[in-house]
Amino acid sequence: MSAVTPIDLPIDTKTKKQLARGEKALERSLVRNTKNKLTSKGATTAAIIIAILWTTPTLGLLITSFRPPELINTSGWWTIFTNPGFTISNYQAVLGGEATTVSLGQAFINSIAITIPASIFPLVIASLAAYAFAWIPFKGRNILFIGVFALQVVPIQMALVPLLSLFSRGLKIGGVEVFDGLGAGGNSYGQIWIAHTIFALPLAIFLLHNFISEIPHELIEAARVDGAGHGQTFFRIVLPLAMPAIASFAIFQFLWVWNDLLVALVFADGAVGPITKVLREITGNRGQDWYLLTAGAFVAMIVPLIVFFALQRFFVRGLLAGSTKG
């Protein structure tokens, strides 16, 4: 069957402009119809109310971060118009970090050094495992997947002490040393990377498996007919199609690790402490400097906001993936 090549007919400038206007009108009509199908007046009103309720405390926190301590202790942020007063001393105290173990700048670098690998490692492992569970038949696959899924109900608090013992003392089975421990005493990134990876894997495998298993079977079969192995199928077909889901989970994992305090308290000591530990320390021994948390919170927000807005389009694609067909 021979291919037919379309012929470009001569079109004058006026007709081109009319066609362009028609295409724009059609695009606007499609966008309008999509919005009408996905939204309603009630949903819009509820979204506006939720946005106001969510934004108001954040606005109050921002205003408080620029108020002097004496005004913070004697009046609320909503009195800013009747009782004005602004200062950057709170930010100077936070960035100075004289009462903390490490400076805020070092803690910022530590958080980046912890969060980026702790987000990449589980995604790489989970995507490979999800492909194996979805498209590689082997004995016990369903039982093993159920076991991985069941790990989500185990609270991470139950695993903190065994993991800490494993990292510090190692593992011995029947007198045979299987693993001699990291021996870093919490002063290295390795153990907190491993901890975050372990805690993230069950949910990551489950979510990515649900997405990858929905890829049309015909695509995988066509790749196999063409002689592609599992490696080529994964990297050339599955991985590009699963990128919205991977990016969505990457945002969640990044935010979880960046805002984590519990795992950091157990596995990250001294010079490798993240920014959440510094925020805990800036309030003072008795919490008397609690108002500094308002400035520290906005300093800590910078990177998560950049990550979220940079990957927002992938996040939306990941949420909508699989909701429609065609």
For the chain, 326 residues long, the average pLDDT of each consecutive 10-residue run is 51 70 69 63 84 88 86 83 83 71 78 93 94 90 90 85 80 70 67 91 91 87 86 88 87 90 84 83 73 83 83 64 45
Cβ-based neighbour number of residue 106 at 10 Å:
17
Provide the pLDDT for residue 127: 94
Q: In angstroms, what CA-CA distances link 56 with 43, 52, 74, 206, 238?
A: 20, 6, 20, 36, 42
Q: Please tell me whether residue 99 adopts helix, strand or coil conformation.
A: coil
Rounded to whole angstroms, the Cα distance separating 283 from 201 reads 34
Provide the pLDDT for residue 184: 55
Provide the pLDDT for residue 119: 93
Provide the pLDDT for residue 187: 66
Domains and CATH numbers, the chain: 15-87 (no CATH), 94-320 (1.10.3720.10)
CA gyration radius, the chain: 27
CA 153 from chain centre, in angstroms, equals 20
Provide the pLDDT for residue 197: 93
How, if at all, do strands 171-173 and 176-179 pair?
antiparallel
Rounded to whole angstroms, the Cα distance separating 244 from 16 reads 36
Q: Please tell me whether residue 177 adopts helix, strand or coil conformation.
A: strand
Provide the pLDDT for residue 1: 45
Provide the pLDDT for residue 322: 45
